[in-house]
């Protein structure tokens, strides 16, 4: 059953790919199904609130203030998520990755010396 909109070829191709993937899994029962969670990064909490309102979903808020909402299709969860401050989230993730790399390579990160103008 096709519900192609013909107005968004990228979206239509994604939906077709999901159907092909579901058919593949059905035809090959020995192949493990992937994680039950599909992620929709909306980046901001406001975008999550709007998504949730549109689909009549409950919004969950993490201890850090980041928000998410979920659509559930049997064991499959379509999880939209956003952040209080996406730029800060990226910065913290990059720092964590850099520190892990430094640790793994016997190094330490130190603040750069600031030169007074």
pTM > 0.75:
no
59/28 same-domain check: no
Q: Where are the alpha helices (DSSP H) in 1-117?
A: 9-27, 45-54, 86-104
Which range marks the domain in which residue 3 is found? Answer: 1-34
52/28 same-domain check: no
Q: Give the residue from 80, 89, 93 showing the smallest Cα distance to 39.
A: 80
49/73 same-domain check: yes
- Per residue in 34-59, pLDDT tens? 888 899 999 899 999 999 999 999 99
What value does the CA radius of gyration of the chain take, rounded to a whole number of Å? 21
- Per residue in 68-101, pLDDT tens? 999 999 889 999 999 988 777 788 889 889 999 9
The pLDDT-based confidence of 114 (bands split at 50, 70, 90) is low
């Amino acid at each position: 059953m096709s519900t192609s909109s013909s107005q968004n070829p990228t979206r239509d191709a994604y939906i077709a790919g999901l159907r092909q993937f579901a058919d593949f899994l059905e035809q090959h029962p020995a192949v493990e199904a992937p994680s039950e969670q599909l992620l929709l990064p909306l980046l901001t909490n406001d975008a999550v609130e709007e998504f949730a309102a549109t689909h009549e979903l409950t919004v969950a808020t993490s201890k850090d203030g980041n928000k998410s909402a979920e659509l559930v299709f049997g064991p499959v969860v379509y999880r939209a998520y956003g952040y209080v401050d996406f730029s800060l989230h990226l910065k913290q993730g990059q720092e964590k990755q850099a520190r892990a790399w430094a640790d793994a390579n016997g190094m330490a990160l130190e603040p750069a010396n600031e030169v007074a103008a």
